[in-house]
Amino acid sequence: MLKTAVAIRHLAFEDLGCFEPVLERAGYKVHYYDAGVDDLWTLDPLTTGLIIVLGGPIGAYEDDKYPFLADELTLIEQRLAAGRPIFGICLGAQLMARAMGARVYPGPAKEIGFAPLTLTDAGAASCLGVFGDGPVLHWHGDRFDLPDGAVGLASTPLCPVQAFSRGPNVLAAQFHPEAGGEGFERWLIGHTVELAAAGVDVPALRAANAELGPMLGSRAAACLQTWLRGLNA
């Protein structure tokens, strides 16, 4: 039976990345909704098999600048209330945290580059355990508090809540498990202003992706496969 996975995308090049072929192999038909362009009201928050909310450079709290966030938050709130499978990445995780009543706010500095996570015991036992204490891709400036009822899964020194879950169907990651590997050059081009402002060494970041991308791609696949198997759909 064909299943549907919808990715809510905020930038054309911040797509499902390594996750897309995993979803296709698992029998999902993948669709994209571009936030701020496509009408989210046409996306049913209850009957859609899986929703993944992707990253982007705006703040989850910037409703005054980006009015579409109100519709997106409503959809996420409805999805969460129904207990249907949802996975948020970076901005997506921040929107999920906000929808669950947690505070989202600017961090003390940008966290951009490949660096390790510190997994909690729950994180090590979760699908994120495949990342161990090795490097993952970080690319954010905001952070959020742990929502009530959620379980913290990972942290970094700059970001005490890097991931959380609530039961088997709700997962949020501040870092980017889906990124790296092929297509990474688009990130370097598209985020050039942010990278320059943060003083990030672009050639070094490119070289790190070339070295780590294949390993992270296989870990991303294992992460998503494990989460999909555990869904209570």
Please say if 182 is a catalytic residue: no
Q: Spot the catalytic one: 18, 178, 191, 223.
A: 178
Considering 90, 127, 159, 223, which one is annotated as catalytic?
A: 90
Whether the Cβ atoms of residue 89 and residue 52 lie closer than 8 Å to each other: yes
Sheet containing 86-89: order of strands:
28-34, 3-9, 50-53, 86-89, 170-173, 159-166, 151-156, 118-119
- Where b means 16+ CB within 10 Å and e means fewer, 87-120 reads bbbbbbbbbbbbbbebebeeeeebbbbbbebebb
Is 223 considered catalytic here?
A: no
Reply yes or no on whether 178 is catalytic: yes
Looking only at the bridges linking them, the beta strands covering 159-166 and 151-156 are antiparallel
Total residue count of the chain as it appears in this document: 233
Active-site annotation holder among 10, 138, 176, 191: 176
Task: Give catalytic residues, as residue numbers.
Answer: 90, 176, 178
